[in-house]
Structure 1
Amino acid sequence: MSEADTNALIERYIAAFNAGDSEGMLACLTEDVAHDLNEGGREIGKDKFRWFNGMMSKHYHETLADVVIMVGQGGTRAAAEFTVHGKYLATAEGLPEANGQRYTLPAGIFFDIDDGKISRVTTYYNLAEWTAQVSKG
């Protein structure tokens, strides 16, 4: 896959995220996608990714802004750095109580690309900073 094609794939994935289009995100993924959760484990497969997206949309409304996509030579690896603008909608287990708090965080995702689809999604953000922001309000 060319670097330009990989860049376009990541753009589609992020556009689907921002549109709240879980199926659009899933269309960008391999069946056996590896999903590395921030400060968590690894889940394998589209079904687990679909479940994760459903859980996330129940608890959070987020959009990604100031997106910068970086693609490695050969197009098999990529990264996106961005700012998350979010609203905490419903209390997630083990986290502070939700009451509509807004938050803004820098974050990033690393991607592996295989056969024209994303085969790994690894997300990083500062959970302590997120917790501090939602605990204030």
Structure 2
Amino acid sequence: MTEQTRKLIERYYAAFNAGDMDAFLGMLTEDVVHDVNQGLREHGREAFAAFMQRMNRSYREQIADLVVLAEPSGRRAAAEFTVLGEYLATDAGLPEANGQTYRLPAGAFFELRDGKVARVTNYYNLQDWLAQVQ
């Protein structure tokens, strides 16, 4: 079960890196829970899709240096990675965008159900990101 879980998380980030939002969102349960870094908890695939639309408007990002860990039952996993990004358009409440690039250590925690992501909680250091784009 651990290998299946690890491969699902790797496919999740591969779809993200490819910009394949259909495949990316297709790996989520309909009732997925998304804990936004230093933000609110969102519920449902539709809310996650709206979040990704906002993100893709303001940021171009790639996930690098991915390491995935899964617990033996395969129901939970964690990922550590580096976000390589470019700030394309100003995001509400954040500094003005002018193509700044950033390299940001990050992580995520996952709960899985029926071969899909049922929860994803993302973490990164917002102060580090702000220092890189200001």
Q: Given the two structures, how large is their TM-score scaled by the length of structure 2?
A: 0.99
| CA deviation map 1:20-67 (0-9, x unaligned) | 111111111100000000000100000001101111000000001000
Query: How far, CA to CA, are the matches of 2:34 and 2:56 in structure 1?
Result: 17
Aligned mates of 1:97, 1:24 — CA distance in 2: 31
Distance in 1 of aligned mates of 2:52 and 2:40: 16
Deviation at 1:14, TM superposition (A): 0.4
CA distance in 2, matches of 1:46, 1:65: 25
| TM-superposed deviation, 1:78 | 0.3
SS in 2 for 1:91: coil
Q: Distance in 1 between matches of 2:78 and 2:20?
A: 20
Q: Partner of 1:30: helix, strand, or coil?
A: strand
CA shift, 1:97, in A, is 0.3
The residue that corresponds to 1:76 in the other structure is 75
Count how many residue pairs are aligned between Structure 1 and Structure 2: 134
Deviations 1:53-102 (Å, cap 9, x if unpaired)?
11100000000100000001110000110000000000000000000000
CA distance in 1, matches of 2:21, 2:82: 20
What is the identity percentage for the equivalent residue pairs of Structure 1 and Structure 2?
57
Q: Aligned letter for 1:127?
A: L
Q: Deviations over 1:77-136 (max 9, x none)?
A: 00110000000000000000000000001000100001111100100000011001000x
Q: Give 5+ residue unaligned stretches, structure 1.
A: none
CA-based RMSD of the aligned residues comes to 0.5
Does residue 57 in structure 1 map to residue 88 in structure 2? no
Q: Distance in 1 between matches of 2:18 and 2:7?
A: 16
Tell me which amino acid in the other structure corresponds to 1:16: A
For 1:38, give the aligned amino acid: N
Point out 4+ residue stretches in structure 1 off by more than 4 angstroms. Answer: none
TM-score of the aligned structures, taking structure 1 as reference length: 0.96
Amino acid at match of 1:37: V
